[in-house]
Structures are given as C-alpha cells and as structure tokens.
Amino acid sequence: MKKVILFLSILFTVVFVPVSGQAVNLYEQHEVTVPLRFDYYYTYEMINDALKKLHAAYPQLTQLDLVGKSEEGRDIYCMTVNNPKTGNKLDKPGIYVDANIHGNEIQGSEVALYLLDYLLDNYGKIKEITRLVDSKCFYVIPCVNVDGRYHFMKEGNYSSSARTILAPRDDDNDGLVDEDTFDDLDGDGNICQMRKKDPFGQFKTDADDPRVLVRIKPGEKGEWAMLGMEGIDNDGDGRVNEDEPGYLDGNRNWGYDWQPPYVQLGAGNYPLSAVGLKSMADYIGKLPNICMVWAFHNYGGMILRGPSTKVQGEYPRSDIEVYDYLGKQAERITPGYRYIISWKDLYTTYGDFSEWMVMTHGAYSFVGELFATSSETFKTYEESKKAKPEADFDKEDDYDAEAMFSMYNEKDREQLKFNDHLAQGEMFVNWKPYKHPTYGDIEIGGWIKYSSRISHPFMLKDLVHRNASAIIFSAKHTPEASMDIFDKQKVGENLYRIRVRLSNTKAMPSMSYQAQKNKLYPKDILKVSGPGIKVIAGGELTDIHRDRVLYKEYKPDVQFLAVPGFGKIEYQFLVSGTGSIQIEYSSRHAGRIVKNIQL
C-alpha cells in the first residue's frame, strides 16, 4: 500500500504544466539579517549564518555548539537559549526542537529558526517570553540532515527527492552505488515528469485543463505514456533513475525498537550508523534536563504522538492525559492540523527519533508534520461548503484505484487554480519538448520542487508562527515545582512533625509515567538534613485529615518521588533534635529547591 501511495504522490507531483522556469529567487534570498526574515527559505549555508548572527546579537542568552559533522563533512549546529543569570541550563526544564531530518522537508528548519528569533528578539519586550527564557532552556537544531538540505536546494530535485542521509547504497544490486540518479535535463533546477505521445499509454489530456493528465478508462484510447521522473540511463543498464544517492532514512536509524532493512525500509545496517545522528545522540545524552521534544517534518498538517508501533502497547494513562492536553491545544493553535497517534492513524515506524526520546530519555515528544495542501485552495465560501471531504486511503481496505485517481485529479485542478491566481504561475513548469537519448521525442513538465509538500513563501510566516506557538505552549507546561513547608509543630518530647508539600501548576509531571514505569533514571529526591537533628520517620502523607502516612522503612530522611502535573504530593517527617534543618528537593526536569527552618 505504501508503494501505491508513493507512486501516486510522485504522479501528483508532476502531472501539471508549470508556466515558468526556475523560481529560485522567489524561494531563496542571499543575505541574512537579524531579526530574521521568513518570506523565503534559508539554504544550508544561510542557516549557519543565521545561527552565528543570532549568537553574535544575543551572546548573553545563547550558546552555539557544533554537534558534529555529516557524512559529507557539513556542520550540524545546536543553539541553546538560556539566561545564565537565572540559573544553570541543566537545572531548568529543557525543550528540544529539531527539523529537516529528511532533506526535502525543509520548512521545519524555518520553524526552528523562527522560534529562536522570536524568543531572542522578544526577550525583555513580551512578559511571557521573558519569563519563559528565564525559567526554561531551549535546545534547537534547525537542520539535522544538512547534506540533504544542501543538495535539495542547490541541485535539480522534485519535492520528495534528496530525502535520506547520504550513506551510499547499491539500490539495483549491480555492484555500484548511487550511480543512476535523477538528471535535470533542461537545467531549470527542478526534476519534473517525462511523458511521451503514445496511443497505448494509460493517460490522456484532461478536457477541463490541458495541463492535467487523467488515467484512461478501460477501452479508451490513450494519449500519453508517463516515463517517470526526469533523467537518463546513467549506467547503461537499460533502466532510468534506479539508483539514487543514499537510502538511509534518518528517522528509522535510532536506537529504540530498530529493525533491519528487510523489516523497515531505510533502517541502515545498525542503529545510529549515520555519522551525524550518532553525534546528535551523544550530544543529547549530555542534556538530561530535556523533557519536551518537537521534531518537525512535512507534510499533511498533523501533530503526531507515539507509540510508533501497535505491539509496543499504549503509553501510561496519565501520560496520555498530558499528551491530550498539549496536543489538543496545539490543534487549536494550528487550525486544520490533526492531533493523532502515529501507528494507529498514520503508519508503523521502527527506529524513529521521537520514540527514542520517549522510551530511552523519558521525554514527552511530538512530531509536527507541517503544511496541509488543502490550504492551497481557490474556492468561494459556498463552494467550500459543497466540497466533498477528502477520502482516507491510508488503510488498505479503503483503497479504490479509480476513486484514488479521481480524488487526485480534482485536487490537481484546484491547486492549479491556486498556482495561477495566488502564486502567479511560479509553482509549475510548462510541458516542453526534449530529445531524450533513450526515449526519443518526449516532453518535460510538472511541479517545481518547491511545491506539493512545501508551502509557497507567502504562506510561510503564518506557518512558522503558529507552529512555534505550539512549541511555546508546551514549553510553558514543562514542570514547575514549588515547595511549601506548611506545618511544623512539636508532637512529643524533643520530637517535631514537619510537613512538606510539593506542587506543580503545569501539565507535565516532574517525571513522565513511562520513565517511572521503565525506571529510566532516578526519581526526584526530597531530603531532610541538619547537623543537630535526626529524621526518625518519613513518608508520603496520603490522608492529611486522618494523619495517614506511608512511612519509608530505611533512610527516612531521603524520599523518592515524582510531582504530578496540575497536582501536588505531600510528605511528613518526624524529626528529633534542635537547630537548623535543610529541606532540599532536586529533580532532573523540575530543578532544585532548598529551604531552611529552625527547630
């Protein structure tokens, strides 16, 4: 089924007639200024330049780290946003954001850059942003697959190529690697579709719009044979474009629930075999305060949470409540996006990054699938009301080939109107003749690479602001613990009762329930100490009115716990002695609090 959808996606990408040539200047600019601009897409080099200029403009709030290098030796950077005057970065809740792990999925990098620019530019101007930067720590890797982004934007590609990590692979089993890829035959910077006149072909020209090709019905005479993406037989084996660069999928190569390539396409030979990903894993391993993760892809307008496979089983109920609270709010922030479960509502994946962060680092994690092509519309209000909802062909039992092609043809016509009247024709290349060394007289045409799954630049500002706002909302709901010593009284000869309340006004607990279940790292610690005192008993206070306490048998002065989201937890200690007492709370994700009292 996935192969069918991939074929249709490729067909959908190229059966239109673009009306212009290369549109690079519309989509890319060549100067980086701070504050950053978001009416075009940043090249790989421009991303690095932007990070360096942000760091130079806000050195007191930023740290720029070289995480590692890619297969082709390009730099992978992470920018940390933290105010050191309000505390060490590792003592604050950490929010991790990355994007562009698939080289062609470029607009996630713009979301990441916008987040950085927005936080830094508005620090000291917007109260909520200032408080957020003071109390949290942000780690942002705008571009993971730096090689893929570089090649996608600099060379001829279509919207779904230059996707993978550039680890060489022999796709056609001829003993050579990456030797027969797509070719930009007309030199316009795009890989479009090739077609050839053929009465026995399976396609004909659409009667309503000659730029659209529609599949013929049984018994109809054909007009066009579709020859695939633009290219030639580079290795002389009689096939075209059968061994493109790479195929190591950066989002199938992580170290949790990894499966070999015969189970999971693009998995690689072993987990973290990708050079850049291994560097990232090592870097993230040194940041134990990360509790919230956003990883951006495209497309479809989705906010995904795990599990990534059915057999893994559902997350703990209390974690699902956290996801639902954050995910439904993200839906409101990004109208048209759907908050859904990865394996159940989309498809199963093994070895993906988001699940690795959940299951090995104990973080909460969302995948943002940016941009829904349904927003590329050209309808009146009444026409929109009458439009039929799009069919869901994600499930195999829903598949109907004729209905599928009909749906895509209708979407094609609609998007052509969008192209003509809102993009001024810049998203397509007109069919034009070409003398092909193998096929003879053909025509080349179709969508440019900045189309189908990539929003037009005029839509970019809204996309990046809304998705950055979803990150900001979840960042506001990372744990914020407070400690209150709400009772201290003498209960016997040289014996005192001390009650401590730890509360959390945010949605996320101080430790995810999945992390607690799997014992991924130590729980939070509440410790009572002092030179002149001894803790006789201590434990969780379960019923304050009946004085019911679950006293800990050994070392009652040290309690292990997690503070729930939107909740509290209370402890009672019986202490003998006099003098100063220190009560200390420390948490991987909720920071450290110390208070002192006198007996």
More confident residue, 124 or 233: 124
Residue range 505-527: mean pLDDT, rounded: 97
pLDDT value for 406: 53
pLDDT value for 388: 60
How would residue 242 be classed by pLDDT, with cut points 50, 70 and 90? confident
Looking at residue 396, the DSSP 8-state letter turns out to be G
What tokens were used for 1?
């089924």
In this structure, which amino acid lies at residue 107? Q
> HSE-up of 133 (CA within 13 Å, CB side)?
25
576-580-584 Cα angle (round to 5)? 95
More confident residue, 396 or 132: 132
pLDDT per position as a tens digit, 450-478 = 988 999 999 999 999 999 999 999 999 99
User: Is residue 571's pLDDT more than 90?
Assistant: yes
Nearest to 191 by CA among 372, 416, 10, 30: 10
Separation of alpha carbons 159 and 304, rounded Å: 22
How would residue 241 be classed by pLDDT, with cut points 50, 70 and 90? confident
How would residue 411 be classed by pLDDT, with cut points 50, 70 and 90? confident
More confident residue, 5 or 224: 224
Residue range 491-506: mean pLDDT, rounded: 95
Match 């329930």 to its residue by tokens.
513
Separation of alpha carbons 55 and 76, rounded Å: 15
Number of other CB atoms surrounding residue 86 within 10 Å: 13
Q: Looking at 291-400, list the stretches that DSSP marks H as alpha helix, in order from N- to C-terminal side.
A: 317-333, 342-345, 353-361, 381-386
Residue range 268-283: mean pLDDT, rounded: 97
Q: Which of 1-5, 228-232, 402-406, 536-540 has the lowest mean pLDDT?
A: 1-5
Q: SS3 for 232-282, per residue? A: CCCCCCCCCCCECCCCECCCCCCCCCCCCCCCCCCCCCCCCCCHHHHHHHH
* Domains identified in the chain and CATH numbers: 31-153+246-371+455-476 (3.40.630.10), 168-245+376-447 (no CATH), 481-598 (2.60.40.10)
Model pTM score: 0.91
How would residue 387 be classed by pLDDT, with cut points 50, 70 and 90? low
Give the rounded percent of residues in the chain with a pLDDT score beyond 90: 76
How would residue 382 be classed by pLDDT, with cut points 50, 70 and 90? confident
pLDDT per position as a tens digit, 414-452 = 888 899 999 898 999 989 999 999 999 999 999 999 988
More confident residue, 207 or 142: 142
Helix 107-121 to helix 460-476 angle (10° resolution) is 60
Residue range 499-509: mean pLDDT, rounded: 98
Q: Which residues, at least 6 apart from 571, have a Cβ–Cβ distance to it below 8 Å?
A: 499, 500, 502, 526, 538, 539, 540, 541, 559, 561
How would residue 386 be classed by pLDDT, with cut points 50, 70 and 90? confident
Distances in whole angstroms, Cα of residue 595 to Cα of each of 126, 202, 583, 598 = 31, 77, 5, 11
User: Is residue 19's pLDDT more than 50?
Assistant: no
Looking at residue 210, the DSSP 8-state letter turns out to be T
Mean pLDDT for all residues in the chain: 90
Separation of alpha carbons 486 and 220, rounded Å: 83
Nearest to 527 by CA among 496, 560, 481, 480: 560
How would residue 247 be classed by pLDDT, with cut points 50, 70 and 90? confident
pLDDT per position as a tens digit, 135-157 = 999 999 999 999 999 999 999 99
User: Is residue 20's pLDDT more than 80?
Assistant: no
The most distant pair of C-alpha atoms in the chain lies apart, rounded to whole Å, by 103
pLDDT value for 3: 38
pLDDT per position as a tens digit, 313-342 = 999 999 999 999 999 999 999 999 999 999
pLDDT value for 403: 47
Helix 127-135 to helix 107-121 angle (10° resolution) is 100
- The neighbouring-strand residues paired with 295 are 98, 367
pLDDT value for 396: 39
